[in-house]
Amino acid sequence: MEQITLYNTLAGKKEIFKPLEGNKVFFYCCGPTVYNYIHIGNARAFVLFDFIRRYMAQNGYTVTFIQNITDVEDKIIKKAAEEKKSWDSVAERFTRAFQEDMARLGVLSPDISPKATETIPAMITLIETLEKKGFTYTISDGVYFRVRKFEGYGKLSKKSLDDLRAGSRISVNDEKEDPFDFALWKFSKPGEPAWESPWGRGRPGWHIECSAMSRQYAGRTLDIHAGGEDLVFPHHENEIAQSEAALGEPLARYWMHNAYVNLNGAKMSKSLGNDVTVRSLLKDHPPQVLRLFLFSAHYRKLLDFTADALVDAEAKYQRFNNFFHTFSDVEEKEDFSLVKEWDERVRAFLNDDFNTSGALGVFFEAVAACFKEKDPAGLAGAVKHWLRRWDSLFFILPGEETSLTGETLHGLMEILIDIRHRARASKDFELADMIRDRLKELGIMLEDTPDGTRYKKR
């Protein structure tokens, strides 16, 4: 195993990565709150930490990658009210959409993907432990955590309580002992999802969900806890406080956070309507282009999503495309001696806090070198093989072009039309509409006629 150095937010510096136990790595990444489609800013964390997980596995670590689904939360309830639908149908729809978008982006499924609603008993147990230790109190709307009782509060964000300002997710409530105290359990209002608990019917607070889910499936201190930098405070700070107050040991040894993706210089946000969804981008761009954009800067550097940035990512993709087209007749061959120096430099960049932009620079340097050779066949063949090997992690190269025609396409369409017909017959209109809409995105139109459903390519 090669030595990997990563930036630990908790320590405020780069540190050599050493798992708690041998080569085993328990890696927890905060997943989505499923109330809408993910935007390109959300995708940065999911693409990045999936990449890091796979790079570690390639280097001999046994990685257990846990990524939760927050399927009960205020935003989901609000979205359901707006759409006049049940909260669980909204959560299910956007959970499925998230999984589809991740698959199209080349992100592997987590080893464990717990849902908040499936882990309620573990959350209640954790709150009961905090109650016994005197860290909780109850007011009219729920059970709260006493932040000032936890001496280490602020160690992740490097701020004291007196310096911190209430974040957007900290609610104002005159009954609270301290403005920074946060809800562990929220009492239910009419029409809201609710579960039985020792304190009354209600639902968990956002922060307790991740603490309970990570502990239930890791069973010990995490090696890495990751997420976007917007989660440092209050979410991850609160996770640390409640977990360590209850369990008496660190929640995680290394904390990793990626920087924001702005949209034309302004912070990207679903709530502000200032976002570009992955789903909309994938209609016009191959996933490799989006990944090239996300890898184009170090993960701790701000990325600005602009028209020029997208054009640049497209140009990079076309450079790879041009390379493989130009040398299409050259047989790929494994000749490490020709690419050894480049390979060592790529690994050096990745081992130094996962510098993907530096690694991309080396890839393009190798591609350029092939065009400069008088007799490029040997070098081009080695570079093609080398790039393909790295692409199992990066997923940025053009793939083999395939198309469905004739009997194969017709057979597949008959299957999809039959599934859609059965869905409509059982009144699963959501599934039926999803099949129609996804086919439309692919340029295939469905027409419902008195003689049955027909399809045509646009």
Report the C-alpha gap between 69 and 252 in whole angstroms.
Answer: 19
The predicted pLDDT at position 433 comes to 86
The domain ranges of the chain are 5-262, 285-394, 406-457
User: pTM of the entire structure?
Assistant: 0.85
- The mean pLDDT value for 434-447 works out to 82
pLDDT tens readout for residues 173-185: 789 999 999 999 9
* pLDDT bracket for residue 399 (50, 70, 90): confident
Least confident of 256-265, 322-331, 401-410: 401-410
* pLDDT bracket for residue 407 (50, 70, 90): low
The larger pLDDT score, comparing residue 438 to residue 356, is at: 356
CB neighbour list of residue 269: distance below 8 Å, 6 or more residues apart: 275
CB neighbour list of residue 79: distance below 8 Å, 6 or more residues apart: 35, 36, 90
Report the C-alpha gap between 402 and 257 in whole angstroms.
Answer: 38
The predicted pLDDT at position 160 comes to 85
The predicted pLDDT at position 124 comes to 98
The predicted pLDDT at position 374 comes to 86
CB neighbour list of residue 260: distance below 8 Å, 6 or more residues apart: 41, 228, 229, 230, 267, 268, 302, 303
Report the C-alpha gap between 295 and 363 in whole angstroms.
Answer: 13
* pLDDT bracket for residue 244 (50, 70, 90): very high
Residue 167, pLDDT > 60, answer no
Residue with tokens 């360590």: 244
Sheet order of strands, 266-267 included: 266-267, 261-263, 303-305
The predicted pLDDT at position 272 comes to 63
pLDDT tens readout for residues 318-346: 999 999 999 999 999 999 999 999 999 99
The predicted pLDDT at position 191 comes to 87
CATH superfamily assigned to domain 5-262: HUPs (3.40.50.620)
The larger pLDDT score, comparing residue 377 to residue 255, is at: 255
The predicted pLDDT at position 403 comes to 44
Q: How many CA atoms lie within 13 A of 343 on its CB side?
A: 17
CATH of 285-394, one of 1.20.120.640, 3.20.20.140, 1.10.3720.10, 3.40.190.10: 1.20.120.640
The predicted pLDDT at position 77 comes to 95
**Encoding tokens for residue 40?**
């390109």
pLDDT tens readout for residues 58-84: 999 999 999 999 999 999 999 999 999
The predicted pLDDT at position 457 comes to 65
CB atoms within 10 A of CB 390: 21
Report the C-alpha gap between 322 and 394 in whole angstroms.
Answer: 18
The predicted pLDDT at position 401 comes to 47
Residue 317, classed as helix, strand or coil, is helix
Least confident of 154-168, 218-232, 425-439: 154-168
The predicted pLDDT at position 430 comes to 86
Least confident of 93-97, 189-193, 250-254: 189-193
CB neighbour list of residue 75: distance below 8 Å, 6 or more residues apart: 33, 35
Report the C-alpha gap between 209 and 213 in whole angstroms.
Answer: 6
The predicted pLDDT at position 67 comes to 98
Mapped to the 3 state alphabet, what secondary structure does 331-383 carry?
Answer: CCCCCHHHHHHHHHHHHHHHHECCCHHHHHHHHHHHHHHHHHCCCCHHHHHHH
The whole-chain average pLDDT of the chain stands at: 92
* pLDDT bracket for residue 275 (50, 70, 90): confident
- Helix then strand then coil, in percent of the chain rounded to 5, is 45, 20, 35
Report the C-alpha gap between 22 and 14 in whole angstroms.
Answer: 21
